[in-house]
Amino acid sequence: MLSNEEFERIVRETIEGLPGRFRQMLDERNIVIGVKDRPDPHDPPSFMGGNVLGFYHGVPMHKRGATGYGTWPDRIVIYKSLIEHYAGTPSGIQALLRRVVLHEIGHFFGLSDAELRKIGY
C-alpha cells in the first residue's frame, strides 16, 4: 500500500502531466481535487457498493454558460482504500490511480463513462 503522501504525489504528477491547455482550464475553473479514504456513509447509495473509485461533482465544461463562471468550484474526490483494494500491488495502485484521476478529469471536460471507457479510462 502507498502512504498518503505518495498517493497524493501521484495525483499531483498526473495533473502536472496533462497538456498545458488542459491544466490551465482546471486552474481557471478552480477545480478542487482531493483524496479521501472511502466514500462517506451519507454519499449516494451507489457509492457504497465499493465500485466507485473516484467522483466528479460539478458542471462539465460543455454545459456551462458563456463564461463558465458564477458556479461553485467543481471537485473531484479520489478514494484511496478502494483503489488499493482493487489494484493490490504498488505498481497496480499507481496505474489505476492515474487512470481514475484522468477518468474524473474527463468528466470535467464533458466525457461520459462510455466515452472514457472507449479511450481506456
pLDDT, one tens digit per residue, over 52-67 is: 899 998 878 777 665 5
- Provide CB contacts within 8 A for 80, sequence distance 6+: 4, 7, 35, 36, 37, 38
Q: Which residues pair with 35 in a beta bridge?
A: 78
Of the candidates 87, 109, 103, the one whose C-alpha atom is nearest the C-alpha of residue 55 is 103
Count other Cβ atoms within 10 Å, centred on residue 107: 22
pTM: 0.86
Q: How far apart are CA 76 and CA 65, in angstroms?
A: 21
Neighbours of 79 (CB within 10 A): 21
pLDDT score, position 49:
52
Q: What is the mean pLDDT of residues 2-25?
A: 94
At 56, list the grid cell.
466528479
- Count structural domains, the chain: 1
- Domain of 77: which CATH number? 3.30.2010.20
Residue 68's domain spans which residues? 4-118
50 — pLDDT class (breaks 50, 70, 90): low
